[in-house]
Structure 1
């Protein structure tokens, strides 16, 4: 943002140098969309049959884009265009894809920790085994997301084994209706709502869905817009 306003700085690894007394020029600033919210639509576009979703002005700061790397590793059809190197934003396009299992762990975990619930759903629709490790932090989010994610998706027909630091997901599995409780966790709610798009047998009864309002109050209206678009 300093550069966007005309400032000069030098970045060397974890060190940033900036000189005082610089002049700045007012600019029109467009704040990129949160990739954590965009992640649900990225996965929907990849797993719902005959889909193509284009998301404009999504933040692509490299500290937050682990989900893009995982999608590519799994063989997902994803492209970035209109890349703004200053605002760190891009237009992201995804299409229904044949996915394969992968391993997720190590240095990438901090770059996608909040997206792991929806990535787990993605893994249920990939051929083969996906292993998530080094993600103990999931246990101390709004819920124990390792257990709650596994319980929610297993109730819908997935094959997920929780581990001490992650999950082992075996796919591809068909999902069916079930009663799922968010336990007040907004990301569990949105993950389940996207999973419900894949259900052909039965209905999904999402308990405490209001938790989604914590981070994305317009989620269901945006979902309806996509379905009717």
Structure 2
């Protein structure tokens, strides 16, 4: 996604900047970075207009030093999976402190994340989010990794080029 992107998901760059990242946006691509000495900050965010990114946001929020509250997304319980309940249940397997609220999620930081086998519930967005978590938490296993073929068949290849940062 670059400056000319038409997808609403491009707004996620601003979300990551608000959390403490820096962004370099060119016409054709975007590079997101965060200095190791700059902690990721939790935020309160209405994601109703970028609801497909809730699983990714929840995974990123597990790495923040303050809580993150996602609102405006109660309707995603009826996507390919229950994207609130299933996401919370799976992340809880890793030791994440995640609470399903009426219209979203509350993710409270913890230093106790650990590996786990995570089920995708036949949802490509959950599968991709769990893959991202595997970059920073050892021993994350994504059951049914082929589920990503619905939207990004080469996802795992793209993820392989990102250097893992283990805590």
User: Mind listing any 5+ residue stretches in structure 1 that lack a counterpart?
Assistant: 1-34, 36-56, 84-89
Cross-structure match for 1:104: 45
**Which secondary structure does the structure 2 equivalent of 1:131 belong to?**
strand
Equivalent of 1:169 in 107, 118, 134? 107
Which of structures 1 and 2 has the bigger CA Rg?
Answer: 1
- Please, what is the CA RMSD of the aligned residues? 2.1
Cross-structure match for 2:144: 208
Equivalent of 2:52 in 114, 139, 154? 114
**Pair 192,143 (structure 1): closer, same or farther in 2 beyond 3 Å:** same
Under a length normalisation based on structure 2, what TM-score does the superposition of the two structures give?
0.86
CA contact (8 A) 2:9 2:53 kept: no
Shift of 1:174: 4.3
In structure 2, what is the Cα distance between the partners aligned to 1:172 and 1:67? 23
Under a length normalisation based on structure 1, what TM-score does the superposition of the two structures give?
0.64
User: Mind listing any 5+ residue stretches in structure 2 that lack a counterpart?
Assistant: none
Cross-structure match for 1:60: 5
More strand per residue: 1 or 2? Answer: 1
Q: Which runs of 4+ in 1 moved over 4 A?
A: none
**Which secondary structure does the structure 2 equivalent of 1:126 belong to?**
coil
CA contact (8 A) 2:20 2:34 kept: no
